Amino acid sequence: MTDIHTLVLKSLAPELASITTTAIRTFTEECIKVSPAAYWLKPSAFYKGHHPTDELQEWGNLRHVKRTLVIATILAEINELLPFDRDMLYSALVIHDIGKYGPGGDSERILDEHPMFVPSMVATIPMSINPQWKYEILGVVITHMGRWGKYPPVSRMEHLGHYADCIASRTTLHIRVEIKMEE
């Protein structure tokens, strides 16, 4: 784990604390630790109009994850998701883009097939959760791009993950997020 991972875990502490199922929260934290450190530092997009301006700069992906979780919380409440289902959705959305710059995070551009990298990136994590839970979390990750991805969402949870990501990416909504790197 790098200093960047430590900063990401610290900045996402409130969001991670909202995952009430300990095994899912631990799995999510472990996914962050094996994610490419460079991913968190990079922009979430490169062209204005698709993502909010603060996501087009350093730490853009961290801001995007926080913004996506704000929308997921609203969607979870509207849809009256049970706490366990919220935990699954939140976990998926924390890690949904960690493959955006390739498995090593070293691509110069965002890769269209990035959702497909995530399962192998987190495969090395010791099984801390029920395999079915991991499968469902990764299902949301793989389908989060909706009709623009290789696999469209099918389940309710997959649709909610896609909608949260899509809505959070819009510049018409002004969802303020803060990233805290110091105490």
Residue 182 lies in a domain: no
User: Which of the pair, 44 or 127, is modelled with greater confidence?
Assistant: 44
Task: Measure Cα distances from 131 to 75, 128, 138, 163 in Å.
Answer: 25, 9, 11, 25
Judge residue 109's burial from the number of C-beta atoms within 10 Å of its C-beta, 0-12 exposed, 13-18 middle, 19 or more buried: exposed
Query: Which residues lie below 8 Å from residue 5, measured CB to CB, with a gap of 6+?
Result: 32, 33, 35, 37, 40
For residue 156, pLDDT over 70 is answered with yes
- pLDDT for 11-67, tens place per residue? 999 999 999 999 999 999 999 999 999 999 999 988 766 778 888 899 999 999 999
Residue 123 lies in a domain: yes
Please check whether residue 143 is in contact with residue 158, taking contact to mean a CB–CB distance below 8 angstroms: yes
Please check whether residue 143 is in contact with residue 154, taking contact to mean a CB–CB distance below 8 angstroms: yes
- pLDDT for 79-106, tens place per residue? 999 999 999 999 999 999 999 999 999 9
User: Residue range 160-170: average pLDDT?
Assistant: 94
The pTM score is 0.94
Residue 176 lies in a domain: no
For residue 125, pLDDT over 90 is answered with no
Give residue 35's domain range. Answer: 3-168
The CB density around residue 153, as the number of other CB atoms within 10 Å, is 21
Query: Which residues lie below 8 Å from residue 54, measured CB to CB, with a gap of 6+?
Result: 60, 63, 177
Predicted confidence at residue 37, as pLDDT, reads 96
Residue 180 lies in a domain: no
Residue 64 lies in a domain: yes
Residue 135 lies in a domain: yes
**Number of domains the chain is built from:** 1
Residue 118 lies in a domain: yes
Judge residue 168's burial from the number of C-beta atoms within 10 Å of its C-beta, 0-12 exposed, 13-18 middle, 19 or more buried: buried
Predicted confidence at residue 109, as pLDDT, reads 92
Task: Give the angle subtended at the CA of 163 by the CAs of 161 and 164, to the nearest 5°.
Answer: 65
Distance CA 37, CA 159 (A): 28
Task: Measure Cα distances from 10 to 60, 90, 115, 144 in Å.
Answer: 16, 16, 24, 25
Predicted confidence at residue 126, as pLDDT, reads 82
Residue 173 lies in a domain: no
